[in-house]
Each structure stands twice: as structure tokens, then as C-alpha cells.
Amino acid sequence: MSNLISSNFPSLRLRRGRSSPWIRNLLTENRLTTNDLIWPIFICDGENKKEEISSMPNIYRYSIDRLTEISETADNLGINLIALFPYTPDEKKTDSAEESINSKNLVCRALNKIKQQNNNFGVMCDIALDPYTSHGHDGLMNNEGEILNDETNSLLAKQALLFAEHGADIIAPSDMMDGRIGIIRNSLEENKFHNTIILSYAAKFASKMYSPFREAVGSSSNLKSDKKTYQMNIANSNEALREVEMDIKEGADIVMVKPGISYLDIISKIKSEFNFPTFAYQVSGEYSMIKAAANKEYINEDEIVFEQLTSFKRAGADAILTYFAPQVANKLRSGS
Ligand code: PBG
């Protein structure tokens, strides 16, 4: 490219394009809109409950009856997709995660409730066992503490089918077992769920940034070991491309990178390699870090959130899961 451009300073002055707001507006390459936002929601048992999560200021767990509040907000703001995450009470957690395939579990009850209403947004459900296991891992564990791949896959396929039957629009396996996308896709096809979308957490890293989330879903105190035998090594990027390729071949419609802001290189590589729908997850730790710094007035929260979410777009993300979704949608609507 540089060979074609012969002129240089002073005929070339890049600051001309930054000299006033109108020209900056015209030359903006990537724009964040409400269409880019996906809103994660924590749900819990009980009635008329809205409990704040201590490590995530201003983020709550809602009981099912209060989900109308969420639906109305999502529809009013024009948010396209919400993602459900259950806080399973400890007494329902077991080593073999039976609650994950109970048709009366929190996610199924939430789907029943939300799908009764005429909403404009889609609903995405995580597929993994960690909200339901007594050991807090995403898969089944043997006596030696090993996470069992194929046995877990059979259960994940049942969970995916159950959520599809209850109206989940997007099935999002977040467990990182090998081969689960293919097994889930086959099971959905065999059961005539031809239009259920699979969003694979394809490149999910063994990050330390999930700890506030683990508090939010109540798995942190149960978890006695890390997730490094299934979540990816944070140092790797070629492997992320192999994960994505595998999941695309097995039938994923969308792939996701997680966490977000430290992994923009991965999003960018996936986009240029595969040209495939690619989402990003700005995870709980990223949310809480921004909140904490803003609370101390070290940074301006709205400005930093806007900058980070725009950076996801610049890296190539098509949409972003973010706990800031309603706040940002509000700002975008008011034009500030
Ligand atoms: C569960 C799951 C996790 C997150 C989403 N789904 C936690 C984990 O893998 O331990 C993290 C989201 C966040 O930190 O916001 N498989």
C-alpha cells in the first residue's frame, strides 16, 4: 500500500481529518450501536427478589417473577438478545449435575415466563454444568478429579435439547469440551430444531477474570481447582484458530471469544482467517474493574466503557456480551 502513496508531509497531514467534529464523524470507521449489545442476566429462586451481587456493583440476580422488568427494559431500549445465567441453590447441586436437565430448573422456568410475552428480543442460554455441579466444574468429574469429556457431552446435548424445547433461541455451549458442538447440533437436528442457533464459546481462555461471575452464580466457593484442563491456555492464539475451525466444522453458527479486552488479537485473527460471525464477551472481571476505578474517580465510567466497546468493534466483533448493555443503550438513545 505504501508504494502507491507517493505524497508525504507536508502535502499529507493526517490531522486534517481530525480537525473538527464533523470531519471526524465522516471519517469514523467503526461505530457502536445498540444492535451490537447482548445483555447477560442472572436469575435466582424466590419471589420478588432483586439481590445485588457484591463483586459486581449495580448487577442483580432477579427472581423469575421480576423478569418482566428486564423484558420491558430490553424492548424499550432495543436490545436484541439477553443471556440467562442461573444461581442454583446449593441443595440442588450434585456431582452429576442432575438439575441441569430438570425441566423445572431456573432456566426452563425463566424461558417459560419470557416466552409467554411477546418480546422483540432473542434469548440465549449457556450450556455448561458449572451452575449445577457440587464441585463447580463445567463437566462431570471422576474420583481422580479429571473432567470427563465424552460423558459430559451426552449431558450437554440433553441440556441443549431441553432449553430448545423451552424456547431458547440461541444455545451457547461455554464448557470447552471437545466435540460438543457436533453432538449438540446432531441432537437438535434429529429433534427438528433446525432453526436453533448455536453460539459456541469457541475460544474461551482459563482466565482469572471470571471470579465475580462465579460469585454471581454461586460456584466460586465450590470450585477447588482451576479449569485449565479444558479452558484455553492464555498464552495461545494458534490454538484458538483450531478451536474455532473445529466448532465451525461441527455446526456452530457464531463463535465467541472470551474474555474480551485482553483478547482483541484473537478476535481480529478469527475474523481475518474465517470471515465468520464472531462475538466477544466483556466478562465480569472487566465490568468490576471499570466499576471500581470509576467509583474511585480514577476514570470516567461512560467514556471508558464506550472506548472499550468500540475497540471490540474495531477488532472485528459483530456483537458484544456486556453487563453495561442497558446503560450503554440508554446513552446511545439519548445521543450522549
Ligand atoms: C460458565 C461460564 C462462565 C462465564 C460464562 N459462562 C464462568 C467460567 O467459565 O468459570 C464467565 C462470564 C463472566 O465472567 O462474566 N461456564
Give pLDDT tens digits for 38-87.
999 999 999 999 999 999 999 999 999 999 999 999 999 999 999 999 99
For the question of whether the overall pTM of this predicted structure is more than 0.75, the answer is: yes
Is residue 3 a part of any domain in this protein? no
User: Which amino acid is present at 289?
Assistant: M
Specify whether 258 is catalytic: yes
CATH number at 271 reads 3.20.20.70
- Give the Å distance between the CA of 139 and the centre of ligand 1: 13
Instruction: Measure the CA dihedral 186/188/189/193, to 10°.
Output: -170
Region of 245 (left: φ > 0; alpha: ψ -120 to 50; beta: rest) is alpha
Q: What is the pLDDT of residue 195?
A: 98
Low-confidence ranges of the chain (pLDDT < 50): none
Is residue 328 a part of any domain in this protein? yes
Specify whether 204 is catalytic: yes
User: Which amino acid is present at 263?
Assistant: Y
| Residue 321 CB less than 6 A away from ligand 1 | no
Is residue 23 a part of any domain in this protein? no
Instruction: Work out which ligand 1 atom sits closest to the CA atom of 212.
Output: 14
The CA distance from 124 to 167, in Å, is 10
Q: How many domains does the chain have?
A: 1
Is residue 185 a part of any domain in this protein? yes
Is residue 218 a part of any domain in this protein? yes
User: Which amino acid is present at 48?
Assistant: N
Establish whether the linkage from the previous residue to 259 is cis, with ω within 30° of 0: yes
Is residue 21 a part of any domain in this protein? no
Domain holding 319, by residue range, is: 30-334
Is residue 94 a part of any domain in this protein? yes
Q: What is the pLDDT of residue 4?
A: 67
Q: What is the pLDDT of residue 305?
A: 98
Is residue 57 a part of any domain in this protein? yes
